[in-house]
Structure 1
Amino acid sequence: MTDHTTTPVAAPRDNLFGVCAALGEDFGFNPLWLRLGFAVALLFSLEKVLLAYVALGVLVLVSRLLFPNRVRTTATAVPATVANEADEAEYRQAA
């Protein structure tokens, strides 16, 4: 059997200060869309995009410092005992 573990959407080494990931987590959307928006905007104005990114980074930093214990929603996983019992019943039928 394989062990199914959940991993974050992007590892910390894949983020540039985690601004898009934090905003996506806070507002409930996939941060890839924000990253794509920044990438397209970079074609037009580097200075404005960098300024907007830094401003959003400061906003995320301030919000995380002011509200450090905010409860984040996580996906609920099927308990391992239920999944194992279902697998065992299936294996018994197959045998």
Structure 2
Amino acid sequence: MANHFSLLLVLAFVLVVTAEDCVVDLKGIIRECKPYVMFPASPKITPASACCSVVQKVNAPCMCSKVTKEIEKVVCMDKVVYVADYCKNPLKPGSDCGSYHVPSQGQ
């Protein structure tokens, strides 16, 4: 339960910071995608179409610039990459999302 509360606090902060310069439906991401991006790292679960519809609207580079160490403690970045790829809004291989380095294809 503490993990969920921590995530909500962290994401609420990101929503305030992000609202000004990133086009993102953070409430939609939390509502639709939370089960697909939270720790544990395994298993990776195929996201629902509702999650993908939100992910497809995300400005990924801008959103990644707002990812903090606190977010990375509760959100599995490997799963974020998986969900973004699956939903056809992939993170650029070799780029950074917070402190997470997005693997090059084939890694």
Q: In proportion to residue count, which structure has more helix?
A: 1
Same fold (TM over 0.5): no
Q: Whose relative contact order is higher, 1 or 2, with alpha carbons under 8 Å and at least 6 apart?
A: 2
Specify the structure having the higher radius of gyration (Cα): 1
TM-score range, shorter chain: under 0.3
